[in-house]
Amino acid sequence: KAALEAVTTGEVGALVAGVDYNAYSSKAKGEPIDIYYPAGGTVVNPRPAMILKTAPNMDNAKAFVDYLFSDEAQELVAKAYLLPGRSDVKCDSRSNLEDIPQIKPDWEKMMAEASEDSAKVNELCSANNG
């Protein structure tokens, strides 16, 4: 709720995951709020579904990922004010992905920087624990 208030009062101009859900949920409850995406665009961060190689039950893990992308699960996601992972499933209760102005990030650069930062954090943690 604090993150939502920061966005709606203009204190923060960035939208982050979860804020959309809170805003659309509040709007559906009748709260006098509306959602505006910056005209210059926002970054929509994908949420990958993956299975670890060390998963103890690979068949169940694969079945769960298959379910995540099923018609039933994607409809549940759309009804929960979240963006579905499939472009053929549309939301009636929120903006769809194609309606949101987007900034195209350089994911390779971002991942390279994240990897460098993670390595530094791991190094610091190792130094403090060793």
pLDDT tens string for the chain (130 positions)?
Answer: 555 555 455 544 444 445 677 788 888 888 888 778 888 888 887 777 788 888 888 899 899 889 988 999 999 988 888 888 888 999 988 889 899 898 888 878 877 877 777 778 778 877 766 5
Question: What is the pTM assigned to this prediction?
Answer: 0.59
Q: Residue 85 falls within a domain, yes or no?
A: yes
Q: How far is CA 88 from CA 32, 43, 80, 121, 130, in A?
A: 30, 21, 17, 40, 51
Query: Considering its fold, how many domains does the chain have in total?
Result: 1
Q: Shortest CA distance to 83 belongs to which of 98, 72, 71? A: 98
Q: Which domain holds residue 56?
A: 2-105
Q: Residue 115 falls within a domain, yes or no?
A: no
Measured between alpha carbons, how far is 80 from 123 in angstroms, rounded to an integer?
Answer: 40
Contacts of 30 (CB under 8 A, 6+ apart): none
